[in-house]
Amino acid sequence: MTTNVDIAIIGAGPAGLCLAKALADTGLRITLLERQSECSLSDPAFDGREIALTHASEELMRALGLWERIDPLEISPLMDARIFNGSSLLSLNINHSDAKQSELGHLVPNHLIRKAAYEAVKSSPTVSLMTETQVSGIKTMPDCVQLTLADGNVLTTKLLVGADSRYSETRRSVGIAADMHDFGKSMMVCVMEHPISHQQAAWEWFDYGQTLALLPMNGLKSSVVITLPPDEMNHLMTMQEEDFNREVSARFKHRLGNMHLVSTRHAYPLVTVYAKRLVGPRFALIGDAAVGMHPVTAHGFNFGLKSIATLSEAIKAAVTSGADIGSSKLLGAYEQTHRRHTRPLFLATHAIAKFYANDSLPARFLRANTLRLGRRIAPFKRAVAGFLA
């Protein structure tokens, strides 16, 4: 059986779902294809990740109807940021006033964003969702893309969108390579309680032999992120809870007191990705499939939402004017704009991550003095605040 649609999106993660919702009122026939079951989409499990959202991302999520679907008690304000180096108690302090904002942004659990995006899409009758579905073949033709599904059915679409993670099989299937950097480390995320207040400030701590991050949740809880070599991470992940609590408290030098685990632990490989091309014939990449960021600047999903805003605006303009939604002109403009939005920050973030992961004596000297210099230069602090917000 052959089905014809206007837009097919492979991957019903937050990026794919948000793009479908952004285009739901255009009159286009939109289909999302996802390997997971619908149950896993409707009630996603906690995965440890807390997403730092900028003001622009919040505005887009409000426009898409996601923000109102998230419990306000689960949305934590990010007021300020503290950047530490080594064992020093000194930090580069970035205040929300430096960005001329009431706060730098907000923190929202990833699984609640996924759930809200699913609910928003399910309320849109023009979007169909095909779960437990795999694509076995992709064939591009002048006026459409033909998708052969694992069950033998065929889907033809005017525009195909890849939104299936930074390890995108769709990207590879259409012949687009990617610059991928594996840092050779693992990142653990969990939620911990502590007796000393974080004062709604995010921490980025470039310690020697490890990188620590703390994202402030409401109350005396924080999302804790620890980056370590895989062998050390395996030991940390398998510790008994009491031993784990002592270990993490010690790693944070007890600056927040004795910390206690209140969630499950989750570990992820630390890999960044930037696709060599963001588009192809009747094809576009969005979200992590296009740009998979290092978490040090917390802009991953913000860039994903930026890709959705840029592509959806171009498609809406094409629908209004009666133009081809899969034209090379439209897709080329999308690629150029999204590269301009993401490439400089991607490269800067990558350089920062590599510089502050270097524990050689010369690098330690430069790391310490860079932060000391930054503390004294107000324009630099304002620039970093704007960069975060």
- pLDDT digits over 325-366, tens only? 999 999 999 999 999 999 988 887 777 766 666 666 665 656
| pLDDT in the model for residue 69 | 97
On the question of a common fold for 2-46+110-180+272-352 and 72-109+184-270+358-388, the answer reads no
Residue 252 pLDDT > 50: yes
Mean pLDDT of 86-90: 69
pLDDT digits (tens, 9 = 90+) for 216-225: 999 999 999 9
Pick the most confident of 94-103, 113-122, 367-376. Answer: 113-122
Residue 228 pLDDT > 80: yes
One CATH from 3.40.50.720, 3.50.50.60, 3.30.70.270, 3.10.180.10 for 2-46+110-180+272-352:
3.50.50.60
* Mean pLDDT (the chain, rounded): 89
- Beta strands (DSSP E) in the chain are 2-10, 30-33, 50-53, 76-78, 80-85, 91-94, 105-109, 127-130, 135-141, 144-149, 154-162, 178-193, 201-207, 210-216, 221-228, 260-261, 266-275, 279-280, 283-285, 291-292
| pLDDT in the model for residue 379 | 46
Q: Which of 101-105, 218-222, 302-306 has the lowest mean pLDDT?
A: 101-105
| pLDDT in the model for residue 87 | 72
Q: CA 330, CA 314: separation in Å to the nearest integer?
A: 7
Q: CA 91, CA 382: separation in Å to the nearest integer?
A: 15
| pLDDT in the model for residue 375 | 53
Mean pLDDT of 272-277: 95
| pLDDT in the model for residue 2 | 84
**For domain 72-109+184-270+358-388, is the CATH number 3.40.228.10?**
no
SS3 call for 11 = coil
| pLDDT in the model for residue 381 | 43
Pick the most confident of 81-90, 224-233, 354-363. Answer: 224-233
Identify whether the C-beta of residue 3 lies closer than 8 Å to the C-beta of residue 156.
Answer: yes
Sorted by sequence, the CB contacts under 8 Å of residue 297 that are 6+ apart come out as: 345, 349, 352, 387, 388
In terms of DSSP bridges, do strands 91-94 and 30-33 run parallel, antiparallel, or are they unpaired? unpaired
Chain-centroid distance, C-alpha 126: 26
pTM: 0.90
| pLDDT in the model for residue 257 | 97
Residue 323 pLDDT > 70: yes
The percentage of the chain sitting over the pLDDT mark of 90, rounded to a whole number, equals: 75
Mean pLDDT of 113-126: 94
Q: Which of 100-114, 187-201, 308-322 has the lowest mean pLDDT?
A: 100-114
Q: Crossing angle, helix 378-388 and helix 361-376, to 10 degrees?
A: 100
Chain-centroid distance, C-alpha 227: 17
Mean pLDDT of 148-164: 96
Residue 378 pLDDT > 80: no
Q: CA 30, CA 12: separation in Å to the nearest integer?
A: 12
Q: CA 41, CA 211: separation in Å to the nearest integer?
A: 32
Domain boundaries of the chain, sorted by first residue: 2-46+110-180+272-352, 72-109+184-270+358-388
| pLDDT in the model for residue 137 | 95
pLDDT digits (tens, 9 = 90+) for 16-60: 999 999 999 999 999 999 999 999 999 999 999 999 999 999 999
| Type and span of the H or E element at 354 | helix 328-356
Q: How far is CA 123 from each of CA 36, 57, 116, 127, 128, rounded to the nearest angstrom?
A: 19, 21, 11, 9, 10
Dig out the tokens for 308 from the structure: 């959705």
* Alpha helices by DSSP H, 357-377: 361-376
